[in-house]
Structure 1
Amino acid sequence: MFFHFLYDNEVVNKETSEQATFQNIKHVDDNGNEFWYARELQEVLEYKKWENFCKVIDKAKKACKGSGNAVSLHFPDVRKMIPIGNETYREVADFKLSKYACYLIAMNGDPRKEVIALAQTYFAVKTNEQEQLELQKEDSLRLQIRQDIKEHNISLAEAANQAGIKEPRDYAIFQNEGYKGLYGGLGVKQIQEKKGLKKSQKILDYMGSTELAANLFRATQTDEKLRRENIKGKEQANYTHYEVGKKVRQTIRELGGTMPEDLPTPVESIKQLEKKQKKQLKPSIQLKQKEETKI
Structure 2
Amino acid sequence: MEITEKEYSSLTEDEKRFYQRNLTKKGNYSLNQAAKEAGVKNFDKFHNSGYKGLYNGETANDIAKRKGLRYREDILDNMGSDELIANLFRISQTEQKLKRDNIKGENNANDVHYEVGKKIRNTIKELGGTMPEDYETPKKSLTELEKKEK
Q: Normalization by structure 1: what TM-score?
A: 0.47
Indicate the RMSD between aligned Cα atoms, in angstroms.
1.6
- Does structure 1 residue 264 correspond to structure 2 residue 136? yes
Distance in 2 separating the partners of 1:245 and 1:274: 29
Q: Do residues 149 (structure 1) and 21 (structure 2) align?
A: no
CA deviation map 1:226-269 (0-9, x unaligned): 01110000110000000000011011111111111111000010
- For residue 107 of structure 2, the aligned residue among 228, 235, 251 is 235
User: Quick check: 1:207 aligned with 2:56?
Assistant: no
* Residue matched to 1:42: none
How far apart, in 2, do the equivalents of 1:172 and 1:260 lie?
20
Conservation of the 8 A alpha-carbon contact between 1:195 and 1:265:
yes
Contact 1:163 1:234 in 2 (8 A): yes
Give, as a single letter, the amino acid of the residue that structure 2 aligns with 1:157.
N
| Aligned: 1:140 with 2:140 | no
The answer to which structure, 1 or 2, has the higher relative contact order (CA under 8 A, 6+ apart) is: 2
Offset at residue 274 of structure 1 (A) = 2.3
Deviation readout 1:5-31 (Å, 9 max, x if unpaired): xxxxxxxxxxxxxxxxxxxxxxxxxxx
Which residue does the alignment assign to 1:251? 123
Tell me the distance in 1 between the aligned counterparts of 2:112 and 2:71.
26
Other-structure match for 2:5:
none
- % identical equivalent positions: 55
CA deviation after TM superposition for structure 1 residue 137, in Å:
1.3
Give the corresponding residue for 1:223: 95
Q: Shift of the alpha carbon at 1:178? A: 0.2
Aligned to 1:180: 52
C-alpha distance in 1, partners of 2:14/2:43?
30
Contact 1:142–1:208 (CA under 8 A) maintained in structure 2: yes
Q: What's the CA shift for 1:275?
A: 3.0
Q: Which residue in the other structure is 1:164 paired with?
A: 39
Which has the larger strand fraction? Answer: 1
**3-state SS of paired residue (1:202):** coil
For the residues of structure 1 that align with 2:108 and 2:119, how far apart are their CA atoms?
Answer: 16
Output aligned runs, 1:64-75, within 5 Å. none
Per-residue CA deviation, residues 73-118 of structure 1 (Å, 9 max, x unaligned), is xxxxxxxxxxxxxxxxxxxxxxxxxxxxxxxxxxxxxxxxxxxxxx
Task: Specify every segment of 5 or more residues in structure 1 that has no aligned partner in the other structure, as ranges.
Answer: 1-133, 280-295
Q: Secondary structure at 2:12's aligned position in 1?
A: helix
Deviation at 1:273, TM superposition (A): 2.2
CA distance in 1, matches of 2:12, 2:45: 34
Pick the structure with greater CA Rg.
Answer: 1
